Amino acid sequence: MRERRIERVGEIGDWKLAAQVARVARVALVALVPRVVRVALVAATVFVALGPGVLAETLVVANKAEATVSLVDLATGTVRATLPTGVGPHEVAISPDGRTALVTNYGQRGEGGSTLSLIDVPGAKSIRTIELAPYRRPHGAVFLPDGRRALVTAEANHALLIVDLEKGVVERALVTGAEVSHMVDLSPDGARAYVTNIGSGSLTVFDLEQGERVAEIQTGKGAEGLAVRPGSGEIWVTNRADDTVSVIDPTSLRPVATLSAPKFPIRAKPTPDGRAVLVSCAESGDLAWFDAEARTLARRVPLPTGEATSEGKLFGDQFGKSSIPIGIVVAPDGKRAWVAHAGSDAISVIDLGTGAKSGELRAGREPDGMGYSPVPVGAP
């Protein structure tokens, strides 16, 4: 396979030269272009380095019940590597260049975790473990545009952490003042951070330049899932205990719509064009597909999988026979999405063109948080 790839690169130049060009391009992209466009362009540089016809993508999957992360080759659907993490890995964030995955180690029910795992995606190896103590129960995570730092929620401390990943230290802690601060995302310009608070039923807004809390907005009971819509910058929050989704205007910071979303809406993810927002519903076991422009439910997407198991898993038998869909990832090309089923240990593949499930992948036990990287395992 490697010889075949080298031969293809020969059509456009020397393998090593192409790889160097790809690395230089990645550095430039981090500084010059928005996040969504950047991911697509990084994918293009990988295509150049590996040669025409090579689909180079990796799905990074956190397996909560076995304290591991799986690197899944999306061209073949096979697991290329399974690496150890801390206990209870919950969420995955991917660096702007696609080469590093950040995993939050939430811990178990009785004992909160306090570490982050950094993973080298192309090298398929652990880079380092970052200790966050005294901050505990890290959960949501997102890289900042510089690719050197990340935002991480610390539930036990009611805080949003700014973590310097190169130094392995907490640079700053911003207090939410709310209960169970869970997920985090950025405004399109990276100036603001949004945090959902399950216990308070609210959304906290931070000005990152000033390091100040701008607002706390009541959305609904069990505010958890979070999506920032491309283009408009609208903030979509799933209120799992109310079976609703709140849409918040990014300028006025006021809710402008409340949409029905039964049962137990737990995560949200927009499509790259901003036309749709996908919401996983843990209790009903399916996907709610919202027309974001019309703010209406366009369809429910069935996600049939194998039999669910509850032993040793976070939600136990709370949702009966549901496969418990949670984590959602959407490809930068807007053609595919992946949904992790914590109950049935499966990952559904969604064809966004047809709006239907088109396949299924397997990683480890109790998959939840996932991240997409345009960089394959083994890339230079």
DSSP string, 250-277: TTT--EEEEEE--S-EEEEEE-TTSSEE
pLDDT by residue (tens digit) across 158-195? 999 999 999 999 999 999 999 999 999 999 999 999 99
Question: Residue 157 has what DSSP assignment?
Answer: G
Q: How far, in Å, CA of 106 to CA of 65, rounded?
A: 12
What local confidence, expressed as pLDDT, does residue 204 receive? Answer: 98
| Residue 316, number of CB atoms within 10 A of its CB | 9
- β-partners of residue 195 are 184, 204
Q: How far, in Å, CA of 348 to CA of 21, rounded?
A: 35
Confidence of residue 284 (pLDDT cuts 50, 70, 90): very high
In sequence order, the 6+-apart residues with CB closer than 8 A to the CB of 167 are: none
Residue 28 has pLDDT above 50, yes or no: no
Residue 323: closest CA among 301, 339, 342: 342
Could you state, in order of their start, the residue ranges of all structural domains in the chain?
2-48, 57-373
**Whole-number average pLDDT of the chain:** 88
Q: What is the pTM of this model?
A: 0.86
Residue type, 255: P
Residue 317 has pLDDT above 90, yes or no: no
Confidence of residue 346 (pLDDT cuts 50, 70, 90): very high
What local confidence, expressed as pLDDT, does residue 6 receive? Answer: 26
**CB contact at 8 A, 262 and 243:** yes
Q: How far, in Å, CA of 209 to CA of 190, rounded?
A: 10
Residue type, 378: G
Q: How far, in Å, CA of 327 to CA of 370, rounded?
A: 6
Let me know if 133 is exposed, middle or buried by CB neighbors in 10 A (0-12, 13-18, 19+).
exposed
Side-chain-side CA neighbours of residue 309 (13 Å): 10
Residue 35: closest CA among 194, 192, 188, 195: 188
Q: How far, in Å, CA of 358 to CA of 379, rounded?
A: 27
- β-partners of residue 164 are 149, 169
Residue type, 26: R
Let me know if 207 is exposed, middle or buried by CB neighbors in 10 A (0-12, 13-18, 19+).
middle
**Start-end of H helices in the chain:** 2-9, 15-32, 35-50
Radius of gyration of the chain (CA): 20
Side-chain-side CA neighbours of residue 15 (13 Å): 10
Residue 146 has pLDDT above 80, yes or no: yes
For the residues 260-283, what does the mean pLDDT come to?
Answer: 98
3-state secondary structure of 19: helix
pLDDT by residue (tens digit) across 240-267? 999 999 999 999 999 999 999 999 999 9
Residue reference for tokens 């737990």? 266
Residue 17 has pLDDT above 50, yes or no: no
Residue type, 115: T
- Token couple for 146: 């510089």
Structural class in CATH, domain 57-373? mainly beta
In sequence order, the 6+-apart residues with CB closer than 8 A to the CB of 15 are: 5, 6, 9, 49
Cα maximum dimension of the chain: 58
**Start-to-end C-alpha separation, the chain:** 15
For the residues 115-124, what does the mean pLDDT come to?
Answer: 98
**CB contact at 8 A, 295 and 289:** no
Q: How far, in Å, CA of 140 to CA of 248, rounded?
A: 20
